[in-house]
Structure 1
Amino acid sequence: MAEKTREDDAPSQADTSLVSASLASASSLVLLQLLSRVFTFVLNQALVRLVTPQVFGTASIQFELLLSTILFLSREGVRNALLRSTENKARPQQSALIYNISLLPVLLGAPVAVASVCIYLFSSSATTASQPHFHFSAVIYALAAFCELLSEPLYIRAQNELRFDVRVRTEGSAVLMKTLVTFLALVSLSPDWALVAFAAGQAAYGLTMLVGFLGAYGFRARYWPEQVVAKVHDNTKTEYFDTKLLHLSMAMTGQSVIKHFLTEGDKFLVSRLSPLADQGGYAVASNYGSLVARIVFQPIEETSRLFFSKTLSSTTSNKWEDLQVAANVLTVLLLLFTHLFLLLVTFAPPYLSFALRLVLPARYLQTSAPAILRTYVYYIPTMAFNGILEAFFTSTATPADLRAQSRWLLGFSACFVGTAALLARGGGLGDTSLVWANAANLCMRAFYAWMFAARFFCEQGAGRLVHWRKAVPPVKVLVLFALAAAATRWSEATLGNKPLTLGAQIPHVFVGAACALACLAACVLWERKTFQDAYSLLRKR
């Protein structure tokens, strides 16, 4: 009986380890993103004063799009699929099979990098390509992407071993190196070398990532799949990959082509349709507008994907508890994001014009940046909702589910292009039409993922665990936010004829601060029990 007790306790100990590791991961990644974005924000504040909007737009829109294309298409599917890998003590060779799959981003990355940079260089407009050292800089970006891909097998290994300290330390060092190299190169070189300065910073990032992960594992890494010999029913079998995970990786990689277009479609269209100066404005707005998303949402999304993958793919006997915890985490995160939406919609519009005067250089106020940042008030919450819901989908979907979603994503792609075209033509919205189209696209994707999540829990006999009402604050909170919105807009209207300076806007800022404190106090007072219950459920794990 003692043996049985120890065996029964093992899953709960593993679950506790996973929960604590996931919470530690979330806090560590939020801290990493906060520090890295502070560096990036300071760098951007300096860069927008050191370089022209044309150079900033080329580096931050076109070169970043080239970089993300290579990385996303090469590694995203494999990275998400391998989150579901679990140790199997009956098959000690499994770790070698999984490592072989983690090499696919490297093997796929080389041809993807070559093809991407060639297509980009041959399709670039004459105005863009005429910038000094343009071709040289684009090639450096492609090499930097491949250098980063060389660290991918060790990145995946660190994730599956829950060694988040390795990632935080390495990525933090990489961001610091990128910031310093870019800034020093811009300051020390002539303006003609501005694009090369951005490329050098990205190369420093990729090299630091590679050296950091290699150093964490004693500079021991192989980059070619090796044969794994296993005995199955007294028969010798030679394998290279775990078949189930390989098929899932292939399905997710194929789908990543569509998801990449949906994720980066606005940048693709801006890079092809907008003048270089407006590309610079779009880049500034995108960088500032997505600060919250990158600092908070991205770590939460990545940690949730890991948590859902490990929790719902586990083979423990506590299936109902696993479902209960997963549903609770999902609904509580959605509730948090609903509060973020309320805060942004209530307080951002009345104070955005004043804030832009403080952070944007005068020459960027004449670009599309201010208008785009106004649309980000509504775009940021859609990113949050879609991120967590698609994290759940990715963690639980079968290859058949992925194929079904791919068909819907094709439809969403058509809607994205059509919405952007209609808004641009009918309303004269310019680049803001792309942000509105992206928001509409993310809403459709989030709704699809929500319906999948509801169906998933129903099929497990736990449909009552998830309901949209659990993601909506109480009516008292909604009423208070509505009153705060009215008060801040009244304050803006009464101070509308005053200069946008700190001294003149102090009464307006005071009204907003008082309303914000009242709303936050209401959330703590009336919704504390919801979050306490969720935390208690996690602690029991």
Structure 2
Amino acid sequence: MGSEDILRSTSTLASYSVLLQVMFRALTFFLNAFTLRFVSKELIGVVNVRLMLLYSTLVFLSREAFRRACLSGDTVGRNWRQVINLLWLTLPLGCLWGVVLVCVWWWVLQAPDPQTVPHYVPAVMIFCLAALTELLSEPLWVLAQAHMLVRLKVIAESLSMIAKCVFTVTMVVAAPQWGLYIFSAAQCVYAGILVLCYTAYFMHFLGSDESKRKSFPLQHISELLPSRVKGQPVINWKLATLTWSFFKQSFLKQILTEGERYVMTFLNVLNFGDQGVYDIVNNLGSMVARFLFLPIEESFYVFFAKVLERGREIKDQKQDDVFIAANVLECLLKLVLLIGLIITVFGYSYSHLALHIYGGELLSSGTGPTLLRCYSFYVLLLALNGITECFVFAAMSKEQVDRYNLMMLALSASFLLISYWLTCLLGSVGFILANCCNMALRSIHSLVFIHRYFRHSDHTPLSGLCPNSAVLIALTISSILTAFSEHIFCDGGWLLRLAHVAVGAVCLLGVFIVVFLTETRLVQFIRTQLQPKYSNKQT
């Protein structure tokens, strides 16, 4: 598959992933708004912070390193029997992590008050079993990603999330007294349907005319189980070594990604009620980052990993591939920068109104608006770091990955210390400020790597960080007008608040028009590569 074909498939994958994440976040958005009316904020804190931290930690540490290693480099001529054997190691690894984490969640962490939040102990075990169930789909997920089966992920995860939301809403209305049992069972529903969807698809796909036409490396469902071929190693030891390098990195990355939840969980700097409010504001503030930036990062990591040869100098690679990679990186940097700037500008003036509409006085009073304003700036840093690290992880050699692990260790330690210190001083706002410091340092490292990577070539992808001056002027004017509008209208009745919304809509439209007229290259990139291709016949 040529670079242009890989780019088209990757762009399609990113487009579908964005749509998938939009639906996920929309469902979660309305689900949280609905459940706030039926359950306590303490229960929300236990589920969304304590138990989901257990789930995400177990799943991430068990599979992330395998994903990055097995999707690196050219996957066309790879011995997939060895790769599948390697991927099945995620399950026993997950069992080991499960034992450790369940013991910590039961006996080390402070349990919530059983009168306020009952059924904590069995809920921990059920969430662990749900995570292990999801790991069963890992070999199938990697196969689908490597061979650009772009619709499978969308369908499987969409059905799973819809089933989880329907189950949660039904049970919260019918039997709210069951508390944690409802959310634990809902997570099992999500994981079970996800595995069933992947299994059903490959049972139908393998051996079909379509799989033969695509020269798919496997032809029978039994080949997805671990097995040994005579005369060959059980696993690809080169990939296993790379997996170990990524594993050390993924452990540190998980601490950095979920750092504030670890601090809240292990150091008890906030009570469960405050944790619930923080998590709701955090999810609201990160909606755009998760449903837009994360799918682009995941999809274009596959693109960069396939187009570039890991650890090799620019001059030693195919120059056509380097040209495409540099152009794509430049456009992606400009895209996420503009989105981040727009979120920062408009998020400052509309945080209070958004929280008031979403959760009423429970969220719009106190520190909620300040949290969301800070998060609006954090999204900008998050956007830049996601794309730059996406490229860096695809281009680094194994030795560079190992060196980066040491830096991540230092960042992890400093982040936890800064989080604890700032939280003691400023409360929950300190978490976001600590995240901003951490993300800025990581972005600087990635930008330095990219600069050095292209310094002996004619390509300058970092020029994507310099938007047109007319766009900056439009954003500045919008910032002033919306701040003035909030001061005048936002404390009045609904009609005045609608006027505030109208001012923001006009300003946002103006910014879009300026971007469309001045950033023509970016607009063309979005039209040709990121626009959803519903007519595309690829699967």
CA contact (8 A) 1:81 1:248 kept: yes
Matches within 5 A, 1:23-38: 23-38=11-26
From 119, 131, 156, give the equivalent of 2:104.
119
Matches within 5 A, 1:64-83: 64-83=52-71
1:109 paired to 2:94: yes
| Alpha-carbon distance in 2 for matches of 1:407, 1:506 | 51
Are the structure 2 counterparts of residues 536 and 211 from structure 1 closer, same or farther at C-alpha, using a change threshold of 3 Å?
Answer: closer
Letter of the 2:228 partner, please give it: Q
1:372 paired to 2:357: no
CA offsets, 1:55-77, max 9 Å, x none? 00000001110001100100000
1:128 shift after superposition = 4.9
| Alpha-carbon distance in 2 for matches of 1:348, 1:420 | 23
CA contact (8 A) 2:298 2:390 kept: yes
Which residue number in structure 2 is paired with residue 246 of structure 1? 240
Are the structure 2 counterparts of residues 133 and 530 from structure 1 closer, same or farther at C-alpha, using a change threshold of 3 Å?
Answer: closer
1:132 shift after superposition = 1.2
The CA RMSD over aligned residues, in Å, is: 2.4
| Alpha-carbon distance in 2 for matches of 1:87, 1:510 | 50
CA contact (8 A) 1:332 1:531 kept: no
* Structure 1: unaligned runs, 5 residues or longer: 1-10, 231-237
CA offsets, 1:475-530, max 9 Å, x none? 2221222122222222333346x42x321223333322222221111111111134
- The percentage of aligned residue pairs carrying the same residue is 29
CA offsets, 1:14-70, max 9 Å, x none? 333312211111111111111222221121111111110000000000111000110
| Alpha-carbon distance in 2 for matches of 1:370, 1:121 | 34
SS in 1 for 2:203: coil
Letter of the 2:334 partner, please give it: L
Which residue number in structure 2 is paired with residue 407 of structure 1? 406
Matches within 5 A, 1:21-420: 21-87=9-75, 89=77, 94-128=79-113, 131-191=117-177, 193-218=178-203, 220=221, 225-230=226-231, 238-271=232-265, 272-313=268-309, 319-366=318-365, 368-420=367-419
1:86 shift after superposition = 2.7
CA contact (8 A) 2:411 2:438 kept: yes
CA offsets, 1:419-463, max 9 Å, x none? 2244334xx4201101110111011111112212222233xx42x
SS in 2 for 1:43: helix
1:117 shift after superposition = 1.2
Letter of the 1:281 partner, please give it: V
Letter of the 1:173 partner, please give it: L
Letter of the 1:146 partner, please give it: L
1:449 paired to 2:466: no
| Alpha-carbon distance in 2 for matches of 1:60, 1:345 | 25
Letter of the 2:134 partner, please give it: E
Which residue number in structure 2 is paired with residue 5 of structure 1? none
SS in 1 for 2:496: coil
CA contact (8 A) 1:33 1:296 kept: yes
SS in 1 for 2:230: strand
Are the structure 2 counterparts of residues 132 and 221 from structure 1 closer, same or farther at C-alpha, using a change threshold of 3 Å?
Answer: farther
Which residue number in structure 1 is paired with residue 463 of structure 2? 469
1:273 shift after superposition = 2.1
From 415, 432, 437, give the equivalent of 1:435.
432
CA contact (8 A) 2:263 2:419 kept: no
1:537 shift after superposition = 10
From 496, 517, 525, give the equivalent of 1:525.
517
| Alpha-carbon distance in 1 for matches of 2:142, 2:461 | 34
1:221 shift after superposition = 5.2
Letter of the 1:391 partner, please give it: C
Which residue number in structure 2 is paired with residue 7 of structure 1? none
CA offsets, 1:131-178, max 9 Å, x none? 311111110000000000011111111111111211111111110111
| Alpha-carbon distance in 2 for matches of 1:416, 1:347 | 28
From 484, 494, 506, give the equivalent of 2:498.
506
| Alpha-carbon distance in 2 for matches of 1:31, 1:57 | 28
Are the structure 2 counterparts of residues 471 and 531 from structure 1 closer, same or farther at C-alpha, using a change threshold of 3 Å?
Answer: farther
1:305 shift after superposition = 0.8
| Alpha-carbon distance in 2 for matches of 1:207, 1:510 | 44
| Alpha-carbon distance in 1 for matches of 2:356, 2:529 | 46
| Alpha-carbon distance in 1 for matches of 2:80, 2:38 | 49
Letter of the 1:243 partner, please give it: W
When normalised by structure 1's length, the TM-score is 0.88
Matches within 5 A, 1:6-25: 14-25=2-13
CA contact (8 A) 1:106 1:223 kept: no
CA contact (8 A) 2:326 2:459 kept: yes
* Structure 2: unaligned runs, 5 residues or longer: 205-220, 532-539
| Alpha-carbon distance in 2 for matches of 1:536, 1:199 | 42
Structure with greater Cα Rg: 1
1:481 paired to 2:475: yes
